């Protein structure tokens, strides 16, 4: 049994994860258009992951006997100033989601809801991993600089990350 406040906040989190999924999807198609296939592949996968986070919320709310509400999604940006600006926005988005998750966890303590608190722990580790990954991408982008072939090298770097993630996924299966 969830309190009204927890049910409301979990439903709000569905919307936050869904927006992140649409934002990364929009970024992926922009990268595709710009010929940055490594970046595009990375962002398509991140978009799928955010959808998976959303679905975890949906199933949890329904599993504990409440009603997961599917929200309308606001329009994400469709144009980005540069690949640097785009990944800065990814980082900001992750920091925002971490904040929202922290608020939800604070609320679990206030409402004495240990079941939801336990469910939310997975998201805490996930945010730590995602923040670290985006930070390392931003560090690489900074190292590459803005020389004439910087987009090529940034995309190569993202290809390398995609391969590493693929290998890790294959090992886990
Ligand atoms: Fe997420
Ligand atoms: Fe995320």
- Rounded mean pLDDT of the chain? 97
Task: Kindly give the distance from the C-alpha atom of residue 50 to the centroid of ligand 2, in angstroms, as a whole number.
Answer: 6
Would you state the pLDDT for residue 173?
A: 86
- Say how many Å lie between the CA of residue 46 and the centre of ligand 2: 7
pLDDT digits (tens, 9 = 90+) for 58-80: 999 999 999 999 999 999 999 99
Closest ligand relative to 56 C-alpha: 1
| Total tally of structural domains belonging to the chain | 1
**Using an 8 Å Cβ cutoff, are 42 and 162 in contact?**
yes
Q: pLDDT digit string (tens) for 6-18?
A: 999 999 999 999 9
How big is the CA angle at 45 (ends 121 and 134), to the nearest 5 degrees? 65
CA of 129 to the centre of ligand 2 (A): 9
Confidence tier at 94 by pLDDT (50, 70, 90): very high
pLDDT in tens, 28-48: 999 999 999 999 999 999 999
Residue-wise over 93-113: b if at least 16 C-beta within 10 A, else e? bbeebbebbeebbebbeebeb
The residue range of the domain holding 68 is 4-172
Ligand nearest to the CA of 131: 2
Global pTM value:
0.95
**Ligand closest to CA 95:** 2
CA of 30 to the centre of ligand 1 (A): 21
Total Cβ atoms within 10 A of residue 157:
19
**pLDDT at residue number 80:** 98
In this prediction, residue 102 carries a pLDDT of 98
Query: The domain that contains 76 carries what CATH number?
Result: 1.20.1260.10
How remote is the CA of residue 124 from the centroid of ligand 1, in Å?
Answer: 10
pLDDT, tens digit, for every residue of 101-158?
Answer: 999 999 999 999 999 999 999 999 999 999 999 999 999 999 999 888 999 999 999 9
């Amino acid at each position: 049994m969830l309190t009204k406040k927890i049910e409301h906040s979990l439903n709000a989190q569905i919307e936050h994860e869904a927006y992140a999924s649409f934002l990364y999807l929009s970024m992926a198609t922009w990268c595709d258009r710009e010929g940055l296939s490594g970046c595009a592949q990375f962002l398509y996968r991140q978009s799928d992951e955010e959808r998976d986070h959303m679905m975890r919320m949906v199933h949890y709310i329904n599993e504990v006997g409440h009603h997961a509400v599917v929200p309308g999604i606001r329009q994400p940006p469709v144009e980005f100033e540069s690949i640097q600006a785009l990944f800065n926005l990814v980082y900001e988005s992750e920091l925002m989601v971490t904040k929202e998750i922290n608020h939800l966890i604070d609320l679990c303590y206030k409402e004495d809801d240990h079941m939801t608190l336990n469910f939310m722990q997975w998201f805490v580790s996930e945010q730590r991993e995602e923040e670290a990954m985006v930070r390392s991408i931003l560090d690489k982008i900074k190292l590459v600089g803005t020389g004439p072939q910087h987009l090529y090298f940034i995309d190569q770097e993202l290809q390398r990350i995609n391969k590493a993630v693929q290998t890790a996924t294959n090992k886990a299966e």
